[in-house]
Structure 1
Amino acid sequence: MDSNSVSPMPDMAPMAEFDKTPPTPPEDTLPMDDLPPPPTTVTVQEEKEKEAHRHYEEENEWGCGSWLEYALVMVLACILLLASLGLTLYWVIRHQEGFAWRDDPKRQFNLHPVLMVAGFITFSGFSVLLYRICRCCRRIYVKLLHTVFHALAIPCVAVGFLAVLDSHNLALPPIPNFYSLHSWIGLVTMGLFAIQFVVGFFSFLILLCCEGATAGFRASLVPIHASFGLTTFMLAIAACLTGLTEKVFFSLGKDEYPKWPEQALIVNALAMVLVALGILVSYAVRSPTLRGDAKVCVTERL
């Protein structure tokens, strides 16, 4: 045998192939209650509304001083609105012999101051303040309440106007109509009140049937309607003040009035209540702190 030849290697058993893949651990079964909830789909409109609401809350959050101012103005205004009607009733029942109809023209006249104060001051005042009192209500509900309070004022004003006409015409001798400053201011107030009601009812309730097409028109009419509404309320206060002065001079005379009788004190107190209402209501409507327009607009969409 050749010494340089290489003998073949003996046959060896094949190497076992080991599976290097790690063993699969047993799957842990989780109860369905521990699984996270499925993701919710949020529309773009809902996200914008939530963002607008968050932005308003961050920018317009009230502090203790703002809430105190709001509560003081609103509570005091509501008390004075009711006090004006209460003082008028007390004055008429105690010092003007109560009420009657056409069988007693003198006592029929007493319906005039009570109903005019109820319609032009109490009901109209609450109607104006509703946009400040109902800050968190949907705007459509505030509009309906606003309309209801104005609608309640209409029969009061109509019957009060008829009562004064009858008391003048049925008196012996008859009393002339529409000669005083009080009557002229009252006529202007009634005219503005009627125009305000018709325009407001048509534009802010009827036109909601085609809301998209009339949105721009209604938005441009809002400041005009608000300004004339406040003007009508101030004219009503002026008419009441001139009417009270006229009536107390006719009842007491220039000799008795300076002696401070009880009737004079009641009438003067009622006049001061009306003046205070003019200040408070105008402040509540015009104050930027008490305005709730932005918040109402946001909550209307939510």
Structure 2
Amino acid sequence: MSSKTSLLKKFYILYQIIGLILIYFVYYWIVQYRGGFSFTEPKIIFNWHPLLMTIAFLYLFANAILHYRTFPNNTKQKLKNQHALIHGCILILIVLAGFAAFVSHQYGKPQIPHLYSLHSWLGVITIIMFLSQLISGLWCFLYPGVAVQHRETLAPYHVFFGIGIFILAVATALLGFCEKIIFALSDKYKLLPAEAVLGNILGIVCVFYCILVVYMITKPEFKRQPKLEYETLLK
């Protein structure tokens, strides 16, 4: 095993551990302080939203954009199919998370207005960008009729916007966590109770996770090299 491969493996293990810790922190916060989960109580139905969005946009999306680098020995076609499959899973979770927020706001008492906060505005922008990225990626890189030169032209933009969407998703999550905790604790937040401490730690973990993922996706040494399998660079 080369030193580059060994280093990549260590980073892969590290970002997987931090990603799973992040999901656990969100789960623990909801169960311990926000009443757990429900399929019938509007106020508690909302709790699915932060958990599913964390799994989708932070953990799975990070795995999607790093998939080519963390599994370099797979064939290009297999990687593309797996990359698309992960995005499909993300899309399902986004729909469920959005539905949970809508039901909670629409049927909660008192009713909460939709899409009024900066968190929700950025969330809509993130989702629109994700859908645009998904559709353009399916057309350009999976549709066999697209010429290789077009794929070569679009690939850097696909990577750039993928990184941008991930960073925007992390920023949106940070705003969402902060908004939810401040609304829930109100004046108690400035006294730094246990829930506030957990929320602050959750935010720090998000930032560190984001930095780690962006570092891995932009480090040239970790880029997958084309294999001698009769594949062009972007076949």
TM-score, normalization by structure 2: 0.92
- Residue of structure 2 aligned with 1:155, choices 87, 92, 114: 92
Unaligned runs of 5+ residues in structure 2 are none
| Offset of residue 73 of structure 1 | 2.0
Distance 1:301 1:273 in 2: 42
Task: Select the residue among 178, 191, 210 that pairs with 1:259.
Answer: 191
d(CA) in 1 for partners of 2:9, 2:190: 38
Distance of 1:242 and 1:99 partners within structure 2: 21
- Aligned residue for 1:185? 122
Where in structure 2 are the equivalents of 1:1-302 lying within 5 Å? 62=2, 64=3, 66-101=4-39, 103-206=40-143, 208=144, 210=145, 214-253=147-186, 255-292=187-224, 295=225, 297-301=226-230
Residues 147-206 of structure 1: CA distance to partner in whole angstroms, max 9, x if unpaired?
111111111101111111111111222111111110111000000011111111111112
Runs of 4+ residues deviating >6 angstroms: none
The alpha-carbon deviation at position 289 of structure 1 amounts to 1.5
CA distance in structure 2 between the aligned counterparts of 1:241 and 1:142, rounded to whole angstroms: 30
- Give the distance between the partners of 2:6 and 2:189, measured in 1 at CA: 40
Q: Which deviates more from structure 2 when the two are superposed, residues 173-182 or residues 238-247?
A: 173-182
Instruction: Give distance in 2, aligned partners of 1:263 and 1:221.
Output: 44
Q: What secondary structure, in the 3-state scheme, does the structure 1 residue paired with 2:72 have?
A: coil
Give the conservation status (yes or no) of the 8 Å contact 2:133–2:158: yes
Shift of 1:135: 1.2
Query: Secondary structure in 2 aligned to 1:74?
Result: helix
Distance in structure 1 (CA, Å) of the matches to 2:165 and 2:173: 12
> d(CA) in 2 for partners of 1:100 and 1:236?
25
Give per-residue Cα distances to partners, 1:71-99, cap 9 Å, x unaligned. Answer: 33222111112222111111111111111
Distance in 2, Cα, partners of 1:268 & 1:68 = 33
2:21 maps to a residue whose letter is: A
Would you say how many aligned residue pairs link Structure 1 and Structure 2? Answer: 231
CA distance in 2: counterparts of 1:289 and 1:202, whole angstroms: 28
Q: Separation in 2 of the partners of 1:133 and 1:290?
A: 8
What fraction of aligned residue pairs are identical, expressed as a percent? 31
The structure that is helix-richer by fraction is 2
| 2:50–2:97 contact (8 Å) kept in structure 1 | yes
The whole-number CA distance in structure 1 between the counterparts of 2:121 and 2:22 is 22
SS at match of 1:98: coil
Residue segments in structure 1 that go unaligned for 5+ positions in a row: 1-60
C-alpha displacement at 1:222, in angstroms?
Answer: 0.6
Q: Say whether the 8 Å CA contact 2:75–2:227 is kept in structure 1.
A: no
Alpha-carbon shift at residue 299 of structure 1 (Å): 3.5
Once the two structures are superposed, residues 42-99 of structure 1 have per-residue CA deviations (whole angstroms, 9 ceiling, x without a partner) of xxxxxxxxxxxxxxxxxxx95x3x3453233222111112222111111111111111
Cα distance in structure 2, aligned partners of 1:67 and 1:139: 18
Comparing 173-182 with 187-196, which one deviates more in the overlay?
173-182
Any conservation in 2 of the 1:244–1:267 contact (CA below 8 Å)? yes
Name the TM-score, length of structure 1 as normaliser: 0.73
Q: Say which one has the larger Rg.
A: 1
Which of 1 and 2 has higher RCO (CA within 8 Å, sep 6+)?
Answer: 2
Q: Distance in 2 between matches of 1:289 and 1:218?
A: 22
- Of residues 133-142 and 233-242 in structure 1, the stretch that sits farther from structure 2 once superposed is 133-142
Seen in structure 2, the aligned counterparts of structure 1 residues 176 and 80 have a Cα distance that, compared at 3 Å, is same
